Amino acid sequence: MELLGIPVQALLGQLLLGLVNGSFYAMLSLGLAVIFGLLNIINFAHGALYMMGAYAAWIGLTYFGIGYWESLLLAPLILGAFGMLIERALLQWLYKLDHLYGLLLTFGLALIIEGAYRHFFGVSGQPYPVPEQLSGATDLGFMMLPNYRAWVVAASLMVCMATWFVIERTRLGAYLRAGTENPRLVQAFGINVPLMVTLTYGFGAALAAFAGVLAAPVIQVSPLMGSNLIIVVFAVVVVGGMGSILGSIATGLGLGVIEGFTKVFYPEASATVIFVIMALVLLIRPAGLFGREK
């Protein structure tokens, strides 16, 4: 059966793969959006944190025998702590300055982290095995879907929904949102705003690390995996709306699917399509599809 000249099988297959990619985009842009929304910093180091999460899982497995499921919990904790350290040690001095300095600092940070990992691990990737419980594939008729990829979609959606819920529907989230809009006022109410900011950056880092562990069995764990992805994730965040949680999730998934679609009809453009959309959105609705202009 053919649709627009392409067999439906191939189309559905690519769309499904697009959904898997989209879940990664969603998770990573979620962390970025949270950090930008609350700290007004474009965290260029996000890709590096994602990479560190994947490596934490790999190192855990190779040297300490720590399995996949434990890494899913441990890596975010470790990287979350690391993130908080970065915020306290480096980022907090920049809040009074032009926001562009935050971008530049995190860019430098990304270079440091990536360079160090490249030195210790080389450029070619390390393989990470799929956990036993998720190995194998399900025959969907139009393609064989590896079970692990289905899990990726499920896990990302769960985490994204949980994060959205916390930020939009709980008291803590309300404090965070208020803290960004008017830190002094919120502080006057007795809420420790700097602590919240630190925790927020740590949380963003933890989200990135979680995505990293999820990614490890799918793509090679390599020091370059972050920088390959970060630019795309920026595009996602910008299209979705720089501070909007729901926006990033929806846009991440959407763009992943669009990318998959493009791969079927016009594969050469699949890498560019996200940026074309980003340029268009920035022209028409600069705050993003779901965002509010600051």
Partner 1 sequence: MTRTSLVFLALLAALLAAPFFVYPVLMMKVLCLALFACAFNLLLGFTGLLSFGHAAFLGTAAYSTGYAMTHLPVTPEVALILGTLAAAALGVVFGALAIRRQGIYFAMITLALAQMVYFFCLQVPFTGGEDGLQGVPRGALFGILDLRDDMMMYYFVLAVFLAGSLLIYRTIHSPFGQVLKAIRENEPRALSLGYDVDRYKLVAFVLSAALAGLAGATKTLVLGFATLTDVHWATSGEVVLMTLVGGVGTVLGPIAGAVIIVVLQNELADKVGSWVTVIMGTIFVVTVLAFRRGVVGEIAARFGGK
Partner 2 sequence: MKRARICVLPCAAVFAVCAAAAMAQQGPVKISDDVVRIGVLTDLSGLYSDIGGQGSVVAAQMAVDDFGGKVHGRKIDVVATDHQNKADVAAQKVREWIDRGGVDMITDALNSAVALATAKVVAEKKKILMDTGAASTRLTNEDCTRYTIHHTYDTYALANGTGRAVVKQGGDTWFFLTADYAFGHSLEQDTMNVVRENGGKVLGAVRHPLSASDFSSFLLQAQASKAKIIGLANAGGDTINSIKAANEFGLTKTQNLAGLLVFISDIHSLGLQATQGMYVTEAWYWDLNDQTRKWSKRFFDKTQKMPTMIHAGVYSATSMYLNAVKAVGTDDADVVMAWMRANKHGDMFGANMTLREDGRLVHDMYLFQVKKPSESKGPWDYYHLRETIAAGHAFQPLSKSRCPLIRQ
Q: Which residues bind partner 1 (CB under 8 A)?
A: 42, 90, 93-94, 97-101, 103-105, 107-116, 118-119, 227, 231, 234-235, 238, 242, 268-269, 271-272, 275-276, 278-279, 282-283, 286
Q: Which does 260 bind (CB under 5 to 8 A by kind): partner 2, partner 1, none?
A: partner 2
Q: How far is CA 265 from CA 59, 95, 240, in A?
A: 40, 45, 24
Q: Which does 178 bind (CB under 5 to 8 A by kind): partner 2, partner 1, none?
A: none
Looking up tokens 């803590």 gives 172
Pairing of strands 6-7, 137-139: unpaired
Gap between the Cα atoms of 131 and 135, Å rounded: 6
**Minimum distance, C-beta of residue 202 to partner 2, in the bound complex (Å):** 27
x-marked contacts with partner 2 along 215-234 as a string, rule CB under 8 A:
---xxx-x--x--x------
- Under 8 Å CB-to-CB from 164, ≥6 apart: which residues? 245, 246, 249
**Minimum distance, C-beta of residue 157 to partner 2, in the bound complex (Å):** 20
Any contact of residue 169 with partner 2 (CB under 8 A)? Answer: no
Any contact of residue 157 with partner 2 (CB under 8 A)? Answer: no
**Minimum distance, C-beta of residue 252 to partner 2, in the bound complex (Å):** 16
Of 125, 173, 183, 194, which one interacts with partner 2 (CB under 8 A)?
A: 125
- Determine the length of the chain: 294
**Minimum distance, C-beta of residue 264 to partner 2, in the bound complex (Å):** 8
Question: Long-range contacts of range 134-140, CB-CB < 8 Å, 24 or more positions apart?
Answer: 140/16
3-state helix, strand, coil in the chain (%, to 5): 75, 5, 20
Any contact of residue 133 with partner 2 (CB under 8 A)? Answer: no
